[in-house]
Amino acid sequence: MDYYSNQISRLIEELSCLPGIGSKSAARLAFHLIHMSVEDVERLASTMVEARKNVRYCKSCCTLTDQELCPICSNNKRDHRTVMVVENTRDLAAYEKTGKYDGVYHVLHGAISPMLGIGPEDIKLKELIERLSGDVEEVIIATNSSLEGETTAMYISKLIKPAGIKVSRIASGVPVGGDLEYIDEVTLLRALEGRTQL
C-alpha cells in the first residue's frame, strides 16, 4: 500500500538507490528536499548535474577532479618521486587529512577481486605502470588490509620490483584505543611484524 503520492514515492525510490541510503533515510531526505525552498533545490540539482558532467579523472593520478590535473598533481611543492597507491579518492582524502604526506598519489578505483570478476585490467594499473616510466623513486602501496587489497598489493609489488623502484607497504595493526582481546589474529600478527623500536 502506498502511503505517499506518486512523486514522493518516486523521489524516495530514487534516493534509496544511493549507496548507504536505506528506505528510511531516503524518506527523510525526500521530505527534507520537499521542505527546502525551490531555489535551494534547483541549486542542489544543478550542482549535481554540473559535477556529473565536469568531473573526470586527473591525467596523472586518476583521482576525480574538474581540471586536467588535480590540485595535488599540479602542486610543485609535492614530492613527485614518491607515489602512494590507494584504492579510491576517499582513501586519498583520508591521508591528506593527516597533513603528514607530501608525495603524490595514484588512485586505482578498485582492487583486484577474482571472486567478483575484477582483474588487473579493470582498475587503473596500466596508468600506474605508464607513470612509473618517469622519475619515480618509491611506490607506497596503501590498499586496504582486505583479501582484495592484499592481492592487489602483491600484484603491484611483483609488477614494479623488476624496474628497480623501491616498493613499500603501509603498516597495519592494532588501532588506537583498540582492546587486544577483541582484535583478530591476522591483525595482531601484522602489528607484531610491523613493530618499531622505541
pLDDT tens-digit map of 13-44: 999 999 999 999 999 999 999 999 999 999 99
The pLDDT of residue 1 is above 50: no
How far apart are the C-alpha atoms of 130 and 126, rounded to whole Å?
6
The 10 Å CB-count burial string (b at 16+, else e) for 70-94 is bebbeeeebebebbbbbbbbebbee
| Better-predicted residue by pLDDT, 183 or 125 | 125
Mean pLDDT of 150-162: 91
Q: Is the pTM of this model over 0.85?
A: no
Grid cell at residue 84: 602512494
Tens of pLDDT, residues 50-75: 999 999 999 999 999 999 999 999 99
How far apart are the C-alpha atoms of 15 and 175, rounded to whole Å?
34
Single-letter amino acid, residue 56? R
Q: What band does 174 get if pLDDT is binned at 50, 70 and 90?
A: low
How far apart are the C-alpha atoms of 174 and 191, rounded to whole Å?
6
The pLDDT of residue 198 is above 60: no
> Topology of 77-171 in CATH?
Dna Topoisomerase Vi A Subunit; Chain: A, domain 2 (3.40.1360)
